[in-house]
Amino acid sequence: MTSPRAEESLVTAAVRRRAGDRYAAAEDEVRRLLDVGLELMRADPAGSPRISEIVRLAKVSNDAFYRAFRSKDDLMAAIADDGSRRLLGYIGHQRDKHSDPADQVRACVRAVFAQAADPEVAATTRAVLRHASRDPSAGSVAIRRRIAELLVEPLRELGSTDPDRDALTGSCATFAVMEQFLWAEDRPTEDDVEHLVGWVLPRADG
């Protein structure tokens, strides 16, 4: 049986390759803008990087910037969103290393606390949160709900009679305690992790 790709005309194939090249180039430009914006935020957490400086260091044109982002706030929001997605991927990856539900909860808490425990990660997280100027509360609500989704099944397996509500409570508590350490520039210890895990797990007993 002939595949759809084998049936396309040479013109269609050429257009597809050209579109792919343009997409790859655009993706590279956007990634450079994100990386430079984040680095400038880390270098001067209290400052506000200028678009002219961002495009110069990213080696892209002003037109390329405005094709991707309507404003500097749009870029800052994209940096925050990118960081949130990376964090959620990391938490999910750490959870999935374990089969025991209690260990899965522990892994989620430890992964969230890592944002404050590692000095380099903490500096980056503080910089992103300071510059998430458009609606930081919306991002915070979304990420806590996504973390809660990662906790629902482990808590259900542990016997929770209301795993959705317990997961959201545990997620909000975990994130709030992490932010306490983060803004105090204090590093949570393994005992801090275990203390919070011990608070979350009994809630699964109803």
Q: Would you state the pLDDT for residue 134? A: 54
Per-residue model confidence as pLDDT tens digits over 164-191: 999 999 999 999 999 999 999 999 999 9
Are residues 65 and 83 both part of a single domain? no
Are residues 115 and 146 both part of a single domain? yes
Residues 36-61: b if buried by 16+ CB within 10 A, e if exposed? bbbebbeeeeeeebebeebbebbebe
Are residues 33 and 91 both part of a single domain? no
Domain count, the chain: 2
Q: What is the signed CA dihedral for 182, 46, 125, 68, rounded to 10 degrees?
A: 160
Q: Would you state the pLDDT for residue 73? A: 86
CA distances from 72 to 43, 44, 59, 67, 136 (A): 17, 16, 16, 12, 15
Instruction: Give the domain range for residue 156.
Output: 78-206
Q: 9-23, 30-44, 136-150: which has the minimum mean pLDDT?
A: 9-23
Given 69, 100, 120, the domain boundary residue is 69
d(CA 33, CA 83): 14
Given 69, 92, 123, the domain boundary residue is 69
Per-residue model confidence as pLDDT tens digits over 39-77: 998 888 777 789 999 999 999 999 889 988 988 888 988
* pTM beyond 0.85: no
Q: Would you state the pLDDT for residue 42? A: 85
Are residues 82 and 1 both part of a single domain? no
Q: Would you state the pLDDT for residue 108? A: 96
Are residues 83 and 34 both part of a single domain? no
Given 41, 69, 97, the domain boundary residue is 69
> Which conformational region is residue 144 in: left (phi greater than 0), alpha (psi within -120 to 50 degrees), or beta?
alpha
Fill in the amino acid letter for 72.
K
Q: Tell how many helices (H) and how many strands (E) occur in the chain.
A: 10, 0
Per-residue model confidence as pLDDT tens digits over 73-115: 889 888 888 888 899 999 999 999 999 999 999 999 999 999 9
